[in-house]
Amino acid sequence: MPFPTLPAPLAEALAARGYAEPTPVQEAVLAPETAGRDLLVSAQTGSGKTVAFGLAFAPEVLGEAARLGPARTPLALAIAPTRELALQVREELGWLYAGAGARVIACVGGTDMRAERRQLDMGAHIVVGTPGRLRDHLERGALDLAALRAVVLDEADEMLDMGFRDELEAILDVTPETRRTLLFSATIPKEIAALAKRYQRDALRIAATGEGAHRDITYSAIVIAPREEERALVNLLRWHDARAIVFCATRAAVARLHGNLTERGFEAVALSGELTQAERNRALQSLRDGRARVCVATDVAARGIDLPDLGLVVHAELPRDRETLLHRSGRTGRAGRKGQSILLVPANRRRIAERLLATARIAAEWGAPPSADEIRARDAERLREQALG
């Protein structure tokens, strides 16, 4: 179905970007019964939720006007867990509201606070930021939320997992009581429900894409013998030949696996907590421009990553719980693209993996890793097909 009636500049921006119809989460937040209400939305990463909340708070930002007046204090605030995600949100809202004359700025860690303050002093219609940096600007008097009409908490469960509860509460406590609050989260654990109860008014609960597995991701569970983890991973990466992210539980495991993959000829980068922001940016850029094909990462280090063409997620070590499984897997299958999530399951941990998949309501295909002989046979067949042209 097509988009409902939208403000002209937003409708034109969507058409220019090739948006013919809304994704499920966009359709859900634009339903008539959502008008003016606080929303508690469970939506998977990559489901189009940034555009969804940008469209949802349009009545609060634009009102009846086609274009915004001069930028002063922000009308809308979007809070995201990581610098990368906040910058992506800023970019998405920037093109969506460009025709309306909106000034959209970002306030994130790892950048010059003085430059951000100058941007705030110039005025903004929409501010996007990370919890710590936004709180810093509030405490320094640089960010005035008195005129705020809408606030969005994006990936709220990740923000709480990362320890940002105090920062979120400090920000929300100084926003107007009349604001509209939109809370987006891949999962709704009790901590998120409690946050919603405290800061939202009679919120409408929306499960736009369900809280189970992402519908554009296929799941496989590969049973491996003891001490065969690395060989199985190498064969999987060669078999699928896709841009991939490999998850490990610890920094030490990331360093070890990254070194082993590099020695075997893979163009790989590592993401873990000890990297500086500059090192992290270089690693991500090498993935985006194609110089690297594999990223080895911890759960925390991978938060906020947006690689639209990521085709494969490999759990080199089993996720600790359902939420981690869904968050990891949500790095692929984004924006309507298909993706694959593969769990490497040591034979002695099969029951643990089965319980994990059952809890997440995932029906995975069980199997064995491809062998070196199978890979060579497949590659030889491809060469024959190319030769026959």
The string of DSSP codes covering 172-226 is HTTS-TT-EEEEEESS--HHHHHHHHHH-SSPEEEESS-SSS-TTEEEEEEEE-T
* CA distance linking residue 140 with residue 281, whole number of Å: 28
* CA distance linking residue 265 with residue 281, whole number of Å: 23
Cα dihedral sign, 185-162-190-324: positive
H or E element, residue 274: none
The confidence score (pLDDT) of residue 313 equals 95
* CA distance linking residue 2 with residue 255, whole number of Å: 47
Count how many residues are written for the chain.
389
For 171, list phi and psi in degrees, rounded to 5.
-75, -50
H or E element, residue 265: none
The sheet with strand 180-185 has its strands ordered as 104-107, 126-129, 76-79, 150-153, 180-185, 39-42, 204-207
* Tens of each residue's pLDDT in the chain, 389 residues: 688 889 999 999 999 988 888 888 899 999 999 999 999 998 766 678 899 999 999 999 999 888 999 999 999 999 999 888 898 899 999 999 999 999 999 999 888 899 999 999 999 999 999 999 999 999 999 999 999 999 999 988 888 888 899 999 999 999 999 999 999 987 788 888 899 999 999 899 998 754 445 668 899 999 999 888 899 999 999 999 888 999 998 889 999 999 999 999 999 999 887 777 778 888 888 888 889 999 999 887 777 676 767 889 999 999 988 878 888 888 887 766 788 999 999 999 999 999 999 988 899 999 999 988 898 988 888 888 888 86
The confidence score (pLDDT) of residue 211 equals 45
For the entire predicted model, the pTM comes to 0.69
| b/e 278-309 (16+ beta carbons within 10 angstroms → b) | eebeebbebbeeeebbbbbbbbebbbbbbbee
H or E element, residue 256: helix 251-263
* CA distance linking residue 130 with residue 182, whole number of Å: 16
Q: Which domains does the chain have, with CATH numbers?
A: 8-207 (3.40.50.300), 217-378 (3.40.50.300)
The confidence score (pLDDT) of residue 215 equals 67
| b/e 238-259 (16+ beta carbons within 10 angstroms → b) | bbeebbbbbbbbebebbeebbe
Query: DSSP secondary-structure letter at 303?
Result: T
DSSP string across 49-101: HHHHHHHHTHHHHHTT-SS--S--S-SEEEE-SSHHHHHHHHHHHHHHHGGGT
* CA distance linking residue 177 with residue 179, whole number of Å: 5
The confidence score (pLDDT) of residue 36 equals 93
- 378 Cα distance to chain centroid: 34
- Taking every pair of C-alpha atoms in the chain, what is the biggest distance, in angstroms? 69
Burial class (CB in 10 A: 0-12, 13-18, 19+), 119: middle
